């Protein structure tokens, strides 16, 4: 029997986002699902690495991945995380002198000792986003590339990139040093951007498309959809358009909502609302008011859903008339794939990676065209047959993507290059 290769997997993204919330982005879910599939494959003896830790992370790993060895950036990270909790308790009781003594005589010395301790050598190191610490020694190293957004949209990232420790700039500098490292990219578009902008060798990058989680499926239970509608205050008797994204200029959400209002005004439609998942409402509504003079009259047509719990997403996708995601650029774009897997017709941009994800299973438009947004809304609203056709195409298209396929590509690449 062939001996398994020792693989260390950087699980820092998981460790720092154990609670549901905004931090659980596409990168978190990609990390979680790739690790889950690698563990299931039984091709490797897997160990985990993390820059942060605690008892919660240890328990999470046991419950979700089994009993895996865990290494930390500091050998005593778990102990130090417990010390941080003790610090809070001492501060609450104003025992500052005791806290100072613990820090000087216990915490700092242990921290210094921990930095000197080395990790074992591994056959393979895999990181879903970050570069490798010098502590990780492996014969072959792989990093998953997600997008070149901070380079392509510099105006949006001025504050983040002013920090000399910004993770993306560290990654770019790492790549420029031409380390002994190979890469995976989540789309052809991402691969092409890294090759074009950083002069990378295309042979060093293998494209491995992502996938939607198993909790995305077509919900046919009307009661489940009704419960989700009630939970997020979607009015009874109203059809709804759904959008799920963060409020970044690149996501183009202002245009999507503005043109929706123009669409219902133009066609005298009163039976539809636009449901926003994930937007920061106060900032968003201020920008929208500056774009639409008579927004007050149509404010009730915009439903703020806010952060949506994972267990409700499938029902909200399934109950929507269509899903809008006309982003200016995406490294992969998971939400349209999630929508398609739930049988929801999609409208997306025709740029970057989105054509790779959607194919012919949606309406694709120019991200910056108001006219094309309105026309797409009208096409879906006035043509139930077209919506049904796109719904079926989307379900079929979504089957082409799975986390097992992603993991298989990663595994085959690693094993082939190890020969």
Q: How many CB atoms lie within 10 A of CB 242?
A: 29
Same domain for 296 and 276, yes or no, is yes
Number of H helices, E strands in the chain: 20, 13
* Of 246 and 153, more confident: 153
Same domain for 369 and 319, yes or no, is yes
List C-alpha distances in Å: 268 to 236, 261, 308, 373.
Answer: 19, 10, 30, 17
Closest CA to 273 of 239, 310, 249: 239
Same domain for 258 and 289, yes or no, is yes
Same domain for 382 and 408, yes or no, is no
- Maximum C-alpha span of the chain: 73
The CATH code of the domain that includes 336 is 3.40.50.2000
Average pLDDT for residues 329-344, to the nearest whole number?
96
Stretch (H or E) spanning 315: helix 310-319
Same domain for 393 and 408, yes or no, is no
What is the rounded distance in angstroms from the CA atom of residue 369 to the CA atom of residue 41?
A: 45
Ranges 115-124, 169-178, 389-398: which has the least confidence: 115-124
Provide the pLDDT for residue 78: 52
- Strands (E) in 285-393, as ranges, are 302-306, 322-325, 346-349, 363-365
Residue ranges making up the domain that contains 33: 5-75+117-211+403-418
Ranges 150-154, 238-242, 278-282, 355-359: which has the least confidence: 278-282
Express each pLDDT in 137-179 by its tens digit: 999 999 999 999 999 988 777 777 777 778 899 999 999 998 8
Does 272 have pLDDT greater than 90?
A: yes
Same domain for 176 and 197, yes or no, is yes
List C-alpha distances in Å: 378 to 2, 260, 265, 301, 361.
Answer: 59, 10, 12, 17, 17
Is 271 within the bounds of a domain?
A: yes
Same domain for 192 and 228, yes or no, is no
The distance in angstroms from the start CA to the end CA of the chain is: 16
User: Mind giving me the DSSP string for 165-205?
Assistant: T-HHHHHHHHHHT--S-EEEESSHHHHHHHHHHH---GGGE
Express each pLDDT in 17-59 by its tens digit: 887 555 567 888 899 999 999 999 889 999 999 887 667 888 9
Task: Show the tokens assigned to 139.
Answer: 């014969």
Same domain for 185 and 228, yes or no, is no
Closest CA to 228 of 298, 323, 305, 280: 305
What is the rounded distance in angstroms from the CA atom of residue 112 to the CA atom of residue 134?
A: 16
Same domain for 317 and 201, yes or no, is no
Same domain for 55 and 199, yes or no, is yes
DSSP single-letter state for residue 23: T
Structure confidence at residue 354 as a pLDDT band (50, 70, 90): very high
Crossing angle of helices 334-341/310-319, nearest 10°? 70
Does 383 have pLDDT greater than 80?
A: yes
Looking at the structure of the chain, the number of domains it has is: 2
Provide the pLDDT for residue 48: 94
Q: Residue 365 pairs with which residues in a beta bridge?
A: 349
Is 232 within the bounds of a domain?
A: yes
Provide the pLDDT for residue 418: 72
Specify whether the CB–CB gap between 250 and 367 falls below 8 A: no
Task: Show the tokens assigned to 309.
Answer: 């719990």
Q: Would strands 5-10 and 70-72 be described as parallel, antiparallel, or unpaired?
A: unpaired
Ranges 46-50, 60-64, 107-111, 195-199: which has the least confidence: 107-111
Express each pLDDT in 191-214 by its tens digit: 999 999 999 999 999 999 999 998
Is 84 within the bounds of a domain?
A: no
Closest CA to 342 of 331, 351, 353, 334: 334
Is 277 within the bounds of a domain?
A: yes
Report the percentage of the chain scoring pLDDT > 70: 83
Same domain for 247 and 174, yes or no, is no
Same domain for 277 and 190, yes or no, is no
Is 144 within the bounds of a domain?
A: yes
Of the ranges 51-55, 108-112, 167-171, 388-392, the best mean pLDDT one: 388-392
Closest CA to 363 of 334, 400, 336: 336
* Of 326 and 284, more confident: 326
């Amino acid at each position: 029997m062939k001996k398994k290769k020792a693989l260390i997997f950087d699980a820092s993204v998981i460790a720092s986002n154990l609670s549901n919330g905004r931090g659980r982005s596409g990168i978190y879910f990609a990390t979680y699902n790739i690790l889950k599939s690698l563990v299931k494959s039984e091709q490797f003896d897997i160990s985990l690495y993390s820059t942060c830790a605690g008892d919660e992370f240890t328990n999470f790993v046991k419950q979700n991945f089994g009993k895996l060895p865990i290494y930390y950036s500091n050998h005593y990270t778990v102990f130090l995380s417990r010390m941080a909790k003790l610090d809070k308790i001492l501060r609450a009781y104003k025992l500052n002198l005791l806290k100072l003594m613990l820090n000087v005589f216990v915490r700092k010395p242990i921290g210094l000792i921990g930095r000197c301790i080395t990790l074992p050598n591994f056959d393979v190191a895999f990181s879903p986003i970050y570069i490798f610490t010098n502590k990780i020694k492996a014969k072959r190293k792989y990093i998953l590339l997600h997008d070149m957004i901070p380079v392509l949209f510099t105006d949006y990232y001025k504050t983040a990139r002013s920090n000399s420790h910004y993770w993306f700039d560290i990654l770019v500098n790492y790549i420029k040093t031409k380390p002994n490292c190979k890469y995976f990219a989540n789309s052809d578009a991402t691969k092409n951007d890294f090759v074009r902008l950083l002069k990378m060798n295309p042979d060093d990058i293998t494209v491995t498309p992502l996938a939607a989680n198993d909790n995305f499926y077509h919900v046919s239970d009307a009661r489940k959809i009704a419960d989700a509608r009630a939970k997020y205050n979607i009015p009874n008797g109203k059809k709804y358009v759904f959008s799920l994204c963060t409020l970044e200029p690149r996501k183009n959400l202002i245009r999507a909502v503005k043109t929706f209002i123009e669409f219902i005004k133009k066609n005298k439609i009163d039976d539809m609302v636009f449901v926003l998942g994930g937007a920061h409402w106060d900032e968003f509504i201020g920008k929208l008011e500056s774009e639409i003079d008579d927004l007050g009259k149509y404010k009730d047509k915009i439903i703020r859903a806010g952060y949506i719990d994972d267990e409700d997403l499938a029902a909200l996708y399934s109950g929507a008339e269509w899903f809008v995601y006309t982003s200016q650029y995406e490294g992969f774009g998971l939400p349209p794939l999630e929508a398609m897997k739930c049988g929801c017709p999609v409208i997306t941009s025709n740029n970057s990676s989105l054509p790779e994800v959607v194919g012919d299973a949606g309406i694709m438009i120019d991200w910056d065209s108001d006219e094309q947004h309105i026309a797409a809304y009208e096409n879906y609203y006035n043509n139930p047959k077209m919506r049904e056709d796109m719904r079926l195409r989307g379900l079929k298209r979504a089957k082409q993507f799975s986390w097992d396929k992603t993991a298989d590509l990663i595994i085959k690449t690693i094993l082939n290059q190890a020969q």
